[in-house]
Amino acid sequence: MSQFDPPLRDDLAGLTPYGAPQLDVEVRLNVNENPFPPSAELARDIAASVERAVASLNRYPDRDFLRLREDLSEYLAGESGVRLAPEQIWAANGSNEVMDHVMAAFGGPGRCALTFPPTYSMYPQYSRESFTSLVEVPRDEDFRINLPAALAAIDEHRPTLVLVASPNNPSGTAVPIGELIELARAAADAGAVLVVDEAYAEFRHSGTPSALTLLADHPNVIVTRTMSKAFAMAGARVGYAAAAPSLIDALAIVRLPYHLSAITQAVASTALAHARELQQGLDVLRIERDRLVVALRERALQVPDSDANFALFGVFDDRHAIWRALLDRGVLIRETGPEGWLRVTVGTPEENARFVAALDEVLQP
Ligand SMILES: Cc1ncc(COP(=O)(O)O)c(C=O)c1O
């Protein structure tokens, strides 16, 4: 067969696909998944709802996923105390796709987005794919946003998007609500949308308000969430956003037709009906997270406060050697974040114990 040189875009030449290694090891604590699989009852209900959806798979799905919007709105009211109309909710295949829509609608050539690294490693890719330039305002050493620098950068660069993960990945740190309000105001003055990526919101310590509380007074704010983490549905690929109806209407313009399959809609709505059961697993994970942070600090490691289901820890002269030695002991974590740091996802109590025991072996002098 003759060779074909694909006409790849010049800006993609030499790049490799994004993704953490998917290795088959016993203890997988590398991509911030929820370690608890669906209950037998939830699995049964999902199977039944999929069977019902299959009966009309010859038809396109509800393009506007009205039932799912209602179910998400109901869930958010219970979770955050903020009641939103279904017209204020958007959903897509993972919050990754929600962000794709956000970038397509509000970014684009000649426009810029502002982010605060170290942060979620997909933000540069979102920008690249939407031809939006990216301005990075580094966080302070303690992973807090440098607010004066952030406000000055918004004023100087006039972005159309300001992207803030809270709790932040990979640091786990939550951005105080007062700082989010200042960012929302500065963004509004610049004509920008503030996106608060709350992928890990359900793990926040109690008493920490969600950015959803900003929506009533700040019509330029979008809060994104996902069912991949707290909801233990990473395999279903469901993410969503909450915002003023005018912002949601803009997202609808750029989505591909029928982007959310009938199966996805059925699975998501059924899982949402079981939201209460999740609470038990969440409580366990939050306690385990706090324990893990203490255990790491007891080993003289630095760990920022975490409001997420993972902890960043360091600092190592050779983090790759630590990562590799843990993998050799059947524990997969993530080599990510600033040089010298590693990130571990909170697993089941047994998995966390395995991780700590392996780490003790690796750190032995
Ligand atoms: C901060 C942050 N936002 C969004 C996502 C994407 O989640 P989803 O599975 O909904 O695409 C992740 C996943 O790791 C994340 O860490």
Whole-angstrom CA distances from 179 to 130, 131, 148, 151 are: 27, 28, 10, 10
CA torsion 277→281→283→286, rounded to 10°? Answer: -150
Distance 6 CA to ligand 1 centre (A): 30
196 lines ligand 1 (CB under 6 A): no
In whole angstroms, what is the distance from residue 230 CA to residue 75 CA? 13
226 lines ligand 1 (CB under 6 A): yes
**Secondary structure of 177-214 as H, E, C letters:** HHHHHHHHHHHHHCCCEEEEECCCHHHCCCCCCCHHHH
Cβ 238 vs Cβ 226: under 8 Å: yes
Atom number in ligand 1 closest to CA 227: 10
165 lines ligand 1 (CB under 6 A): yes
pLDDT of amino acid 18? 79
96 lines ligand 1 (CB under 6 A): yes
Whole-angstrom CA distances from 231 to 37, 44, 59 are: 10, 17, 28
Residue with the smallest CA separation from ligand 1 atom 2 is: 199
Burial of 208 (0-12, 13-18, 19+ CB in 10 A): middle
List pLDDT tens digits, range 267-277: 999 999 999 98
List pLDDT tens digits, range 282-322: 999 999 999 999 999 999 999 999 999 999 999 999 999 99
Distance 335 CA to ligand 1 centre (A): 17
At 343, is the secondary structure helix, strand, or coil?
strand
Closest CA to 37 of 326, 277, 197, 221: 277
pLDDT of amino acid 271? 97
Closest CA to 334 of 23, 17, 22, 31: 31
304 lines ligand 1 (CB under 6 A): no
List pLDDT tens digits, range 28-53: 999 999 999 999 999 999 999 999 99
List pLDDT tens digits, range 203-243: 999 989 999 999 999 999 999 999 999 999 999 999 999 99
169 lines ligand 1 (CB under 6 A): yes
115 lines ligand 1 (CB under 6 A): no
Distance 199 CA to ligand 1 centre (A): 6
Tell whether the torsion through CA atoms of 198, 201, 205 and 210 is positive or negative.
positive
Among 29, 30, 122, residue to substitute to test ligand 1 (most atoms within 8 Å of Cβ):
122
pLDDT at 128 over 80: yes
pLDDT of amino acid 142? 96
pLDDT band at 175 (very low <50, low <70, confident <90, very high): very high
199 lines ligand 1 (CB under 6 A): yes
Distance 229 CA to ligand 1 centre (A): 8
Distance 1 CA to ligand 1 centre (A): 41
pLDDT band at 193 (very low <50, low <70, confident <90, very high): very high
In whole angstroms, what is the distance from residue 296 CA to residue 274 CA? 34
Atom number in ligand 1 closest to CA 168: 1
Give 261-265 contacts, CB < 8 A, sequence gap 24+: 261/61, 262/53, 262/56, 262/57, 262/59, 262/61, 262/62, 263/50, 263/53, 263/54, 263/57, 264/93, 264/236, 264/237, 264/238, 265/53, 265/61, 265/62, 265/65, 265/67, 265/68
In whole angstroms, what is the distance from residue 137 CA to residue 154 CA? 10
pLDDT band at 251 (very low <50, low <70, confident <90, very high): very high
Q: What is the pTM of this model?
A: 0.97
143 lines ligand 1 (CB under 6 A): no
228 lines ligand 1 (CB under 6 A): yes
Residue with the smallest CA separation from ligand 1 atom 3 is: 199
306 lines ligand 1 (CB under 6 A): no
Among 115, 229, 233, 264, residue to substitute to test ligand 1 (most atoms within 8 Å of Cβ):
229
pLDDT of amino acid 334? 97
At 345, is the secondary structure helix, strand, or coil?
strand
288 lines ligand 1 (CB under 6 A): no
